[in-house]
Every structure is written in structure tokens, then in C-alpha cells.
């Protein structure tokens, strides 16, 4: 997976010249750590979980990146994600490098107390390489604000001081930021809004299918519906639902929380009535004829095996790495534009940056101010990427990488390189 991630760089260097030292630095992670995390289970048994933390590059500042709990977490995946975070933070113009962490575990199989022990154990295992000026974690797949709160508390216990800025995505009462929970979906919507303006779309006529109905996917769907987009389909890990007349996103989400299944419903008070809909598979959702296919699940969802089945006009990546490089080539040949993850889903890390700033200053912002600041950054960086794509006549992904790599190259060069010794 990491080799696939690095393939993105090859197309970038066709358009910009960078020093060889930049290429060398960005080809390998600065630090990768694997740790065993012992957890006492509720039945008294001791289980050993494997945890990872990869700090890819810190040229532009302390590293930043989420922690995910998933059965498929491995070093290769975490390294790839840390590489993407490095580029993403540069694209957004944040004073951070990139990192990522994870634990190989199915969190759905743990009790809440076991989950807390695992989370605190992760911090004990990696405390020496974390910190507000070194490496700042955040939530990712199957982690949330509660887990971040446990982790912040454990770090404070170890360091004998309150350090809320060492981790972001915390609950509000523990120093979290307004707007953080919806930030990834909100930021992606701001990017899509700028894209729609460029293409003179009538938003009320734009149809959307969303793979992934977790935190980011749900908030994107909710906010997109409010803006006037028509959400026709959503999916979770068990399957998808589709309605040609559109879904009531908030009612679908509420029904899922209560009944643990997706269905098209209309809820009035405590009563939810079923509406007409089709149950389809995740593969069917990827092939729906819509204007925008939103990928908000996991990596490698659109590959060379199914890219020819995609009928959407545009793909919006909210997940990290949902389209493979080989699929990118097929989609480009078919004229399907991909708004890339390193731009589209950067809203989460932008508001994490806001949380870090607020924690350091001790001054907190109201939700409208957070949204305004997020909107300004997403609008600015999206339009820079769109302009670069037009200028170079390249894909949006290549343009986003050009934007991020130029910033990274500048920081690496200005710290000194071989040219300093050749005069």
C-alpha cells in the first residue's frame, strides 16, 4: 500500500522541479514504532494488542495524525496514511508534519472498560514520542472524542501536568473545539461547493451517493442535504440503500442509531415510518449513475477491477486513499474527475489545528467562528488547487500534490541542502 501511495509523487515531478534531497526525504518515514499493548480483559484474561505510530515528516512542524482501531491495521497501512497526512497538512497550509497511528483490533468486540484500558495503554506505550510540540494525535476510524479524552487524561497523568494540546478531537469539556466532530464532512462540502461554482452547477439538481455513513459521511450527507444537494444513496459496512427521490438523511441516521440498520424513513417525534427504497450492495452504490460519488469508507474501494463501472461525473474522496493509482488512470481516461483526499478531507485536520491553537492560548472560539475560519481555508486552498490543475492541464490529485510538495520542498530546501556546499 505504501508503494502505491508513493506512486502519486511520480506524476508531480513531471510538472515541478525539486532538489533530489527533497525526493529522498519524502520517500521514507522519519520514524516508525511498533509496540505491544497488554490489556487486562473483563474476564481476567491478559491480551496483547499491537500498536503503531509512524511520524513521517516534521519539516513544517510537529507531526499530526489520527489513531485508528481496526482489525486490518498494519505498519504498511499506517505508513501510507502518515505520508498522506504529510501532504495534506502542507496542502492546507498548516504548521504540521504528518503522522498516523493505530491498533490492530476489532473495537466492536471490546467492552467500554476494555476499550478504555486499551486507549490508555496506547498512550503509555507511545508517550515518549508524543507531545504538543512533537506529535499530536487525533481520532480516526473507530476512535472518537471519548477515546481522545481518555488518552489526554493518561498523558496528563504520566507527565504530571495538564497538556490538553497534546491531542485533538477531545470532548468539549476537556478542551475540545466547537465544530470538530463535523469538520471533515463540513470541509469536504466547502470544497465541493467551490467545485460546483467552477462548473456552474445548479446545486438543487446535483445528485449524490455516499459510501460510508460514519462520522464524516453522515455529517457530509446532513450538511449537503441542508445546502440543497440531493442525496440518493448511503451505505455502511453491511450494505446500502437507494431512493431515486432522495433520502431524508437525518431520519436515516436516527433510525440507524436506534435500530442498527439503514432504511429510508420519515420520523415524526418518536415514530419512524418506512418510505420506498431499494437495498443494494456497496458495489452497486459505486456504480450508481449520479453526479457525485462520495467515498467515505476505507482505502482501495475503487480499483482497476471496478473503475470501469463507475458512472458518476465526479468522485469526492472523504476517506484516505479510496481510489488506487491504477483506478485513477482509468477514471482520467473516462473523463471522471476525482477531488482528492489530501484536499477534500483536510477539514478534520484544519479544525484539529484550531483546537491545538485554542488549547495553547487558553482562548476558545464559538462554533460560527470555527466554521468561518474553516470555510476560508478550504475555499482558498481548493481554488489554488483548481487553478493549478487548469494551469498544468493535469488532474486535481496531481495539482493538490504539486501544491503540497512545493510547500514541503521549500521548507526542506530552506533548512539547507547540497547547494550550500557547492559554492
Angstrom distance (rounded) from CA 211 to CA 236 = 7
Angstrom distance (rounded) from CA 247 to CA 238 = 18
Angstrom distance (rounded) from CA 302 to CA 295 = 9
* Residue whose cell numbers read 488549547: 359
* Residue whose cell numbers read 476560508: 376
E strand residue ranges, 9-158: 31-40, 46-57, 63-70, 97-104, 135-139
Comparing C-alpha atoms, which of 381, 395, 372 is closest to residue 90? 381
Instruction: Please identify which of the residues 30, 47, 64, 100 carries the catalytic annotation.
Output: 100
Q: Name the grid cell of 144.
A: 472518537
Comparing C-alpha atoms, which of 57, 47, 120 is closest to residue 84? 57
Angstrom distance (rounded) from CA 26 to CA 18 = 11
SS3 sequence, 62-83?
CEEEEEEEECCCCHHHHHHHHH
Residue 389: C-alpha distances to residues 127, 152, 238, 339, 340 (Å) = 41, 40, 37, 11, 12
Angstrom distance (rounded) from CA 330 to CA 137 = 35
Give the H or E element holding residue 8: helix 2-12
* Residue whose cell numbers read 488547487: 385
How many of the other CB atoms lie within 10 Å of CB of 278? 12
Angstrom distance (rounded) from CA 290 to CA 74 = 34
The angle, 0 to 180 degrees and rounded to 10, between the axes of the packed helices 249-259 and 215-227 is: 150
Are 336 and 293 in contact, with CB atoms under 8 Å apart? no
* Torsion angles phi and psi, residue 70, rounded to 5: -160, 145
Catalytic annotation on 373?
no
Q: What residues are labeled active site?
A: 100
Amino acid at each position: 500500500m505504501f508503494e502505491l501511495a508513493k506512486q502519486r509523487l511520480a506524476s508531480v515531478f513531471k510538472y515541478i522541479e525539486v532538489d533530489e534531497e527533497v525526493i529522498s526525504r519524502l520517500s521514507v518515514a522519519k520514524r516508525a514504532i511498533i509496540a505491544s499493548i497488554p490489556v487486562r480483559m473483563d474476564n481476567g484474561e491478559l491480551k496483547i494488542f499491537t500498536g503503531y505510530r509512524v511520524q513521517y515528516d516534521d519539516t513544517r512542524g510537529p507531526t499530526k495524525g489520527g489513531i485508528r482501531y481496526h482489525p486490518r491495521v498494519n505498519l504498511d497501512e499506517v505508513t501510507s496514511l502518515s505520508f498522506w497526512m504529510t501532504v495534506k497538512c502542507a496542502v492546507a497550509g498548516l504548521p504540521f508534519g504528518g503522522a498516523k497511528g493505530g491498533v490492530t483490533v476489532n473495537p466492536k468486540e471490546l467492552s467500554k472498560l476494555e476499550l478504555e484500558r486499551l486507549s490508555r495503554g496506547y498512550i503509555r506505550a507511545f508517550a515518549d514520542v508524543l507531545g504538543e510540540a512533537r506529535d499530536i494525535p487525533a481520532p480516526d476510524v473507530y476512535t472518537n472524542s471519548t477515546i481522545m479524552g481518555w488518552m489526554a487524561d493518561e498523558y496528563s497523568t504520566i507527565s504530571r501536568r495538564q497538556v490538553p494540546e497534546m491531542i485533538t478531537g477531545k470532548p468539549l469539556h476537556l478542551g475540545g473545539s466547537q465544530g470538530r466532530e463535523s469538520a471533515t464532512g463540513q470541509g469536504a462540502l466547502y470544497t465541493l461547493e467551490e467545485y460546483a461554482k467552477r462548473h456552474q452547477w445548479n446545486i438543487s439538481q446535483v445528485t449524490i451517493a455516499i459510501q460510508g455513513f460514519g462520522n464524516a459521511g453522515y455529517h457530509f450527507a446532513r450538511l449537503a442535504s441542508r445546502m440543497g444537494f440531493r442525496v440518493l444513496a448511503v451505505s455502511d459496512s453491511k450494505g446500502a440503500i437507494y431512493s431515486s427521490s432522495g433520502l431524508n438523511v437525518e431520519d436515516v441516521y436516527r433510525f440507524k442509531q436506534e435500530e442498527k440498520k439503514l432504511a429510508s424513513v420519515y420520523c415524526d417525534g418518536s415514530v419512524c415510518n418506512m418510505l420506498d427504497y431499494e437495498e443494494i450492495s456497496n458495489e452497486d452504490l459505486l456504480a450508481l449513475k449520479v453526479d457525485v460519488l462520495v467515498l467515505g469508507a476505507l482505502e482501495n474501494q475503487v480499483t482497476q477491477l471496478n473503475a470501469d463501472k463507475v458512472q458518476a461525473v465526479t468522485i469526492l474522496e472523504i476517506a484516505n486513499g479510496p481510489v488506487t493509482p491504477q483506478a485513477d488512470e482509468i477514471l482520467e481516461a473516462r473523463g471522471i474527475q476525482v477531488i482528492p483526499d489530501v484536499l477534500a478531507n483536510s477539514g478534520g485536520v484544519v479544525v484539529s489545528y484550531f483546537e491545538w491553537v485554542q488549547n495553547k492560548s487558553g482562548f476558545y472560539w464559538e462554533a460560527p467562528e470555527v466554521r468561518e475560519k474553516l470555510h476560508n481555508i478550504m475555499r482558498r486552498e481548493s481554488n489554488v488547487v483548481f487553478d493549478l490543475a487548469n494551469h498544468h492541464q493535469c488532474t486535481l490529485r496531481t495539482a493538490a500534490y504539486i501544491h503540497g510538495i512545493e510547500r514541503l520542498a521549500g521548507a526542506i530546501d530552506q533548512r539547507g541542502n547540497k547547494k550550500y556546499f557547492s559554492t
